[in-house]
Structure 1
Amino acid sequence: MFLLRTMVVLGLALTPAAALAQGQGHAHAAANGGQIQKIGAYEAELVVKGADVMLYLVDDKEQKVDASTFSATATVLAKGNEQKTLELKPGTANLLTGKADFAVDGKFRATVTLKSGASEIGKGRYSVDIKG
């Protein structure tokens, strides 16, 4: 009986729903190689390439969302444990972009606040590798 219970518990722990409940985030891969966080009704993927910071938006069906009415602010942990603020503005299609004019130690760690017009949609926390 113990073995059966153990197998059932392990089986449930390995399902995608359990992974989501445990904070894994998503059962699908990031389309652009970044990290995905749920912010409000959207999935926001953060990608950092050199000084370029990009936030891709999709809906709950993984369809691209027109980014022209959105903006975002990233509060970033910069080198020397300084907090820096970075504005992300609409780019093309489902993309918000900005430039980091400061250095970071290791990973790019940021709290991103997503807005539509003047209304805050929500926040997402990221820790991503900087791509060359």
Structure 2
Amino acid sequence: MIFGTLFRASLPTGIVDFVMDSYDVRHAMAYPPSDTLDTYNGIVITGSAASAYEDVEWINRLVSWVADLSVQRPHIKIIGICFGHQIVARALGGECVSNNGNWEIAISEVTLTNLGQRVFGTQSIVC
């Protein structure tokens, strides 16, 4: 998985290690088994060519799953990337609507926490 490779490449040796499991929520409707969820520290929901506001079964199920996860296991961190952050927003009661078919791209400076500064070796990053 590309994000596992990118995350691992960004880590200085010895600070943190991690394992990433991937699940195909779109085609296979696969999710981590509920009896193993407590072994996870975080969940990453990546991008998709789909629109997060669509009323389709796999998207609605993902929104519901994230909503349940945030209530039942609040200790598990949830990270959304593009499509993923829109799913998280919907799951937490936010609204996600069409942008008239336009994509938005921007550059933002992010100030890092102490751990983030150790991981990335800088006080802020531009992404």
Please say whether Structure 1 and Structure 2 have the same fold, judged by a TM-score greater than 0.5.
Answer: no
Structure of larger gyration radius: 1
- TM-score, with length taken from structure 2: 0.25
Q: Greater share of helix residues, 1 or 2? A: 2
- TM-score, with length taken from structure 1: 0.24
